[in-house]
Amino acid sequence: MKHRKCQVLVVGGGPGGYPAAIRAGQLGLDVVIVDKHGLGGTCLNRGCIPSKAFIHAAAKFEAMARHAGEPALGISLQAPPALDMAGLTAWKDGVVKKLTSGVGQLLKAAKAEHINGWAVFENAKTCTVETADGETIKITAEHVVLATGSVEVELPFLKFGGPVIGSTAALDLKQLPEKLVVVGAGYIGLELGIAFRKLGAQVTFVEALDRILPLYDREITRPVTMWLKKHGVDVHLNSKAKGAVTEKGQTFLEFEDADGKMQKLPAGAILVAVGRKPLTEGWGLENMGLDMDGRYVKVDDRCRTGMRDVWAIGDLAGEPLLAHKATAQGEMVAELIAGHRRVFDPAAIAAVCFTEPEIVGAGLTPDEAKAKGEEVITGKFPLAASGRYLSMEAGLDGGFVRVTARKSDHVILGIHAVGAHVAELSGEFALALEMGARLEDIAHTIHVHPTLTEGFMESALTALGHPIHISA
């Protein structure tokens, strides 16, 4: 058995772990990062990036199919496009490979040592790693950064296998299922379900709650609901999946509908998308003496655990389970270890749903602000009044930008938008909240024309009572 001592041991190479290792290396620390399932973690290998590549390809296919019908924009195709699902998957894998290989080069440049293997802790500072090459390495570190990430939630009555798949398997399908049933209408299920519908599959959702995307208010999700109805996607709300059965070679999802009656849906594939949970098993968490906060490792505002010099970041450390949150925490922890003064206290962490249309939110909704005792004013700008939006064929999807501000001093408390490409506004939204912007700050900032960012400026003007491009 080989022995390795280091200043910093990072366990997990996802969007929290690899930035922590890179930043620690940049600061001159002796760093080892252990990861078995591919540098970049779920985000780069099985989540954010491959799903967005898949969604992009689906949108392109749908657009081409539209041009093969009646001409649009003066463009027509003589025949509808043909889908090669295996080719789509191969292209997606190429994007992933390029990015993950880039992470390896960045770690190397930062002089962070990468060990491809699985770490199991025997105590808080020592682990044994079985490498991909069959070696066994014992690592002892002064500081341990836990960045093990999260895994898909598997339902006990819908175990993954055969026609029952999770989001990871959905992105690796070589054939398009004729009928796809999606269990769960949160952001993962909706993103993938909508993409499969664009590719031509018949898609049905079964959701236990009374609404889709429960983290967002109904005003924001209404355009997504409109798209689902327009494209023939059935959504069964207040319905509980019960299991999968096979009859005469056909798979069915059994579920209890809103009236308590048992129903069956034929399915070529059943996509279970009911959330993710922190990866806390299989690597010796129970041997480390850490405090827990429910199913997450308990941390303070510097991501310190209850064990001295052991840190936890990203999905392991609690909501929100977002890659960019993990990255920010990883960079911060590396700097804290190097002696810098930092604290994790963001004003807001923006979140995006790459549905049709896209949704972005940062900060409080009007109802959330009121629940906190705030008296608010809001401004909503319909993107159908945006020249840029119309020039992208996006004027009929019900998209808008909405700002929520405190009435007394006009400090912005929340910003939300729904519409084509609004994900690209997330950075401006987060910055405005982080800087403590007031409505006047946004309204008096000259926004470039024609861009979607003008919608944010116009929403601030609307809240102030004097919009320019809509009637007050």
Whether residue 136 sits in one domain with residue 33 = yes
Looking at residue 203, its pLDDT comes to 98
CATH number of the domain where residue 416 is located? 3.30.390.30
360-367: average pLDDT: 97
Average pLDDT over residues 288-298: 97
Whether residue 249 is found in the same domain as residue 295: no
- Which pLDDT value is given to residue 1? 85
Contact between 370 and 217 under an 8 Å Cβ cutoff? The reply is no
Residue 39 pLDDT:
92
Pairing relationship of beta strands 126-131 and 136-146 according to DSSP bridges:
antiparallel
Domain boundaries, position 252: 164-274
Structure tokens at 365: 């909704």
Residue 53 has pLDDT above 90, yes or no: yes
Residue 288 is encoded by which pair of tokens? 């480390």
Check residue 169 and give its pLDDT. Answer: 96
The values of phi and psi at residue 392, to 5°, are -105, 20
Upper half-sphere CA count for residue 234 (Cβ side, 13 Å) = 11
Alpha carbon distance 398, 416 (integer Å):
14
Asked whether residue 63 is domain-assigned, the answer is: no
Within this chain, do residues 101 and 170 fall inside the same structural domain, yes or no? no
CA distance 235 to 127: 47
Mean pLDDT (the chain) is 96
DSSP codes, 196-242:
HHHTT-EEEEE-SSSSSSTTS-HHHHHHHHHHHHHTT-EEE-S-EEE
List active site positions. 449
Q: Are 471 and 408 in contact (CB under 8 A)?
A: no
Q: Same domain, yes or no, for 101 and 218? A: no
Do 246 and 324 share a structural domain? no
Please check the confidence at residue 324 and state whether its pLDDT lies above 80.
yes
Q: Write down the pTM of the prediction.
A: 0.95
Q: Please report, for the domain that includes residue 18, its CATH number.
A: 3.50.50.60
State residue 17's pLDDT score.
Answer: 97
Q: 138 with 180, same domain?
A: no
- Mean of pLDDT values over 291-297: 97
Look-up: residue for tokens 């996006």? 394
pLDDT of residue 395: 86
Q: pLDDT tier at 69 (50, 70, 90 boundaries)?
A: confident
Q: How many domains does the chain have?
A: 3
